[in-house]
């Protein structure tokens, strides 16, 4: 349709573009000319750019041959009236009052273009998202499959495809069992079918661990997750196989390491404990718990002040703070009272680190050195006794001959001096004191000689019975009650019975002297299973031994009674040669208590 446009404004430009596009298929416009008084109007310029003639003379525009349609866009009624006056017959006119139709068409075209652009962008975005999700799905290292409600495959990822040997197109419509039939998971897959039914019915996820043994042991964590539609109904199931073989093996190694660590802790004779930075016990081995008549679990989560006397708890906390403060190991010598007896410990404390190197607690290792200290003390005593024995032997031989001469001459003089002579009593004093010196010399020789014992295996109760029968008739025991408490079925000891009996006699005679020959003596036997030792105990209810003298009573010539002071020193030497120990302490009654500890024999050697 041959058309001219009167008015070269913005509307003109829009209609030209509309006419040139495919939008006006039902109303094709062939624009022959554009007229406007302003030759540089926007529509006029655009028309010339498109090769459409322009003019500023309305009559010239009206004279175009074959004109069929005039579109008036000026918006001026005077222009419209003038057009009506010169309008050629048969030419149609669309004035500016009806031109909004073209604006609607233009807007519709713009909306369509915008929608097309948005749809294009959306499709591109959807395609990118689909590609991203597919890449994500395929790059999951786990085996993943999606089943519909009929338990048929509608999706598999690349990992599943490689593992099962099926491509996606081949897998569609098959069951999991069909896809895994040639793999190690086939049998487990059949057993899991009820789980799929359960997820379909309940809409709740389920998880299970599969273990296979052929060709090698493997472990898989299988998770079944329902996929819900917009109404919350299950429309599919996502199944994920996550291989956890390495995790299981690592857990086993960790459990084995923990078991080895626990076995080491539980089997150690040393005291081993671990506390966190707040001082709460995390680990306590059984030897600590047994010492305080508790179980290891009683300590867990507790602090030292919850488990020990205040003085000991204060000591432990102070030493722990020193370790965490210095961030290095510390060694201590600590004393712990166990069942009324002080035990000496060599203690090592060191900070416990985590994998980052940060301090997370304090580890304590304590070794009971009470017996070692006693052995060291015995070694010192033995060295002193050995040196003194050599000295005593030399001195005794030097003194013995002059004493024999003095005694012989004094006895001869006594025979010659009558009883009425005042010298008679003096000579008897000389004889008595000389014999006293001879006894001291004899004891020195016995102490220095240290005859080798003749060992035999014997019940300690037998030695006790024989010793008690020997002293029971002595006059100094007339007002002393002797109480014997023997443990039945004691293991034997390997000893010289006469020498052990000599030790018991020495202890009982000392007890009688201490009690002024009036009181009570307890002799008891027992067995110490921990160190496999037999115990012979001699206790009196006398005044006891002052604490400052306990360390000296086994020294030769030390005495508080004016005697030669060799009895306990000789006894010490005898027990030492029997690989035993003598301990001394204050009894509950306030008297002295001596313990003879000798190695036990349960079977004959």
| CA neighbours closer than 13 Å in the CB half-sphere of residue 559 | 14
pLDDT per position as a tens digit, 376-418: 766 666 666 666 666 666 666 677 778 888 888 888 888 888 8
Quick one: average pLDDT of 202-230? 88
Specify the length of the chain in residues.
605
What 8-state DSSP symbol labels residue 522? E
Compare 68 and 109 and report the one with higher pLDDT. 68
pLDDT tops 70 at residue 23: no
Read off the pLDDT of each residue in 120-144 and give the average, rounded to a whole number: 86
User: Is the bond preceding residue 215 a cis peptide, omega within 30 degrees?
Assistant: yes
Task: Give 331-385 as a DSSP string.
Answer: EEEEEEEETTEEEEEEEEEEEEE-TTS-EEEEEEEEEE-HHHHHHHHHHHHHHHH
pLDDT at site 99: 61
pLDDT at 102 over 90: no
DSSP state of 453: P
What's the token pair of residue 568?
């306990």
Instruction: Identify which of 259, 305, 288, 276 has the alpha carbon closest to the alpha carbon of residue 347.
Output: 288
Name the β-bridge partners of 353: 359
What are residue 306's phi and psi, to 5 degrees? -80, -15
Asked if residue 450 has pLDDT above 60, the reply is no
In sequence order, which residues have a C-beta less than 8 Å from that of residue 604 and are 6 or more positions away? Answer: 457, 492
Residues 208 and 490: their CA atoms lie apart, in Å, by 61
Distance CA 459, CA 472 (A): 21
Angle, helices 567-577 vs 497-514, to 10°: value is 150
Q: What pTM did the predictor assign?
A: 0.43
User: Where do the H-state alpha helices sit in 166-211?
Assistant: 168-171, 176-179, 186-191, 193-202
Residues 453 and 578: beta-carbon distance below 8 Å: yes
Torsion angle of C-alpha atoms 287, 289, 294, 299, degrees rounded to 10: -160
pLDDT value for 603 = 54
288 Cβ contact list (under 8 Å, min separation 6):
271, 272, 273, 296, 299
Residue 126 has pLDDT above 80, yes or no: yes
* Token pair for 597: 């500890």
Sign of CA dihedral 120, 125, 130, 135: positive
Rg (CA), the chain: 58
* CA 313 to each of CA 112, 318, 330, 367: distance values in angstroms, whole numbers, following the listed order: 86, 9, 17, 18
Q: What pLDDT is recorded for position 418?
A: 87
Buried b vs exposed e over 29-41: b needs ≥16 C-beta within 10 Å?
bebbbbbbeeeeb
Residue 359, sorted as left (phi over 0), alpha (psi -120 to 50) or beta, turns out to be: beta
Q: CA 177, CA 243: separation in Å to the nearest integer? A: 18
Residue 445, pLDDT above cutoff 90: no
Long-range contacts of 362-366 (CB under 8 A, 24+ apart): 362/274, 362/275, 362/277, 362/320, 362/323, 362/324, 363/272, 363/273, 363/274, 364/271, 364/272, 364/273, 364/274, 364/275, 364/320, 365/270, 365/271, 365/272, 366/270, 366/271, 366/272, 366/334, 366/336
Beta pairing partners, 101: none
pLDDT 10s digits, 537-573: 999 998 888 877 777 777 766 565 544 456 687 788 8
Would the pLDDT of 262 be above 60?
A: yes
pLDDT at 87: 87
Has residue 25 got a pLDDT over 70? no
Helices 422-449/567-577 angle, 10° precision: 20
pLDDT of residue 562: 46
Read off the pLDDT of residues 179-209 as tens digits, 9 standing for 90 and up: 888 888 887 887 778 888 899 999 999 999 8
* Cβ-based neighbours of 336, under 8 Å, separated by 6 or more: 312, 342, 343, 345, 366
- 388-397 contacts at long range (C-beta below 8 A, 24 or more positions apart): 388/447, 388/556, 389/447, 389/448, 389/450, 390/448, 392/444, 392/445, 392/447, 392/448, 392/556, 393/444, 393/445, 393/448, 393/449, 395/444, 396/441, 396/444, 396/445, 396/448
For residue range 49-67, what is the model confidence (pLDDT) as tens digits?
999 999 999 889 888 888 9
| Domains in the chain, CATH or no CATH each | 2-108 (3.40.50.720), 140-248 (3.30.450.20), 268-368 (3.30.450.20), 373-447 (1.10.287.130), 456-601 (3.30.565.10)
Residues 495-527: tens digit of each pLDDT: 988 889 888 988 998 899 888 888 999 999 999
In the chain, DSSP finds a helix count (H) and a strand count (E) of: 19, 22
Q: In what order do the strands lie in the sheet with 234-243?
A: 153-156, 143-148, 234-243, 218-228, 206-212
For 283, the 3-state DSSP assignment is strand
Report the run of H or E that residue 117 belongs to, with start and end.
helix 100-139
**pLDDT higher than threshold 50 for residue 211:** yes
């Amino acid at each position: 349709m041959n058309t001219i446009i009167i008015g070269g404004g913005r509307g003109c430009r829009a209609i030209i573009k509309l006419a040139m596009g495919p939008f006006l298929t039902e109303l094709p416009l062939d624009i022959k000319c554009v007229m406007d008084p302003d030759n540089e109007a926007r529509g006029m310029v655009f028309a010339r750019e498109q090769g459409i003639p322009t003019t500023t003379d309305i009559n010239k525009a009206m004279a175009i041959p074959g004109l069929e349609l005039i579109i008036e866009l000026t918006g001026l009624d005077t222009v419209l009236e003038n057009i009506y006056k010169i309008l050629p017959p048969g030419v149609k006119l669309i004035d500016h009052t009806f031109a909004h139709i073209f604006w609607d068409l233009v807007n519709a075209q713009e909306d369509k273009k915008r929608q097309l652009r948005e749809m294009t962008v959306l499709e591109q975005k959807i395609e990118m998202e689909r590609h991203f999700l597919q890449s994500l799905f395929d790059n999951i290292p786990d085996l993943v499959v999606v089943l519909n409600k009929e338990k048929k495959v509608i999706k598999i990822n690349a990992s599943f495809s490689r593992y099962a040997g099926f491509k996606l197109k081949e897998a569609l419509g098959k069951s999991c069992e069909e896809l895994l039939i040639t793999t190690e998971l086939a049998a487990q897959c059949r057993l899991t079918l009820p789980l799929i039914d359960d997820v379909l019915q309940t809409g709740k996820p389920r998880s299970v661990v599969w273990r296979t043994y052929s060709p090698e042991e493997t472990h898989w964590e299988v998770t079944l997750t329902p996929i819900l539609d917009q109404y919350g109904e299950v429309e599919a199931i996502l199944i994920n196989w996550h291989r956890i073989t390495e995790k299981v093996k690592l857990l086993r190694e960790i459990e084995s390491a923990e078991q080895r660590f626990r076995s080491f802790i539980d089997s150690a004779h040393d005291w081993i404990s671990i506390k966190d930075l707040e001082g709460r016990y995390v680990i306590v081995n059984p030897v600590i718990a047994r010492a305080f008549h508790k179980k290891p679990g009683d300590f867990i989560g507790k602090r030292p002040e919850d488990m020990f006397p205040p003085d000991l708890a204060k000591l432990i906390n102070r030493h722990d703070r020193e370790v965490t403060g210095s961030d290095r190991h510390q060694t201590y010598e600590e004393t712990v009272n166990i069942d009324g007896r002080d035990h000496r410990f060599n203690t090592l404390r060191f900070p416990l680190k985590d994998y980052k190197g940060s301090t997370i607690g304090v580890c304590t290792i304590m070794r009971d050195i009470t017996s070692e200290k006693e052995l060291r003390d015995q070694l010192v005593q033995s060295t002193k006794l050995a040196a003194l024995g050599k000295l005593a032997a030399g001195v005794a031989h030097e003194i013995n001959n002059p004493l024999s001469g003095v005694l012989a001459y004094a006895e001869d003089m006594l025979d010659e001096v009558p009883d009425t002579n005042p010298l008679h009593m003096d000579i008897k004093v000389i004889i008595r004191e000389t014999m006293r010196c001879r006894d001291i010399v004899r004891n020195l020789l016995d102490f220095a000689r240290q005859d080798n014992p003749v060992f035999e295996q014997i019940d300690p109760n037998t030695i006790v019975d024989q010793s008690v029968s020997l002293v029971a008739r002595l006059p100094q025991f007339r007002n002393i009650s002797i109480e014997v408490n023997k443990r039945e079925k004691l293991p034997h000891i390997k000893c010289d019975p006469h020498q052990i009996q000599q030790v018991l006699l020495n202890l009982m005679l000392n007890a009688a002297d201490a009690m002024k020959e009036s009181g009570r003596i307890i002799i008891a036997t027992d067995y110490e299973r921990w160190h496999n030792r037999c115990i012979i105990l001699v206790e009196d209810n006398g005044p006891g031994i002052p604490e400052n003298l306990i360390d000296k009573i086994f020294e030769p010539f030390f005495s508080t009674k004016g005697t030669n002071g060799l009895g306990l020193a000789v006894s010490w030497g005898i027990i030492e040669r029997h690989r035993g120990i003598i301990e001394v302490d204050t009894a509950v009654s306030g008297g002295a208590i001596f313990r003879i500890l000798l190695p036990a024999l349960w079977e004959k050697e």
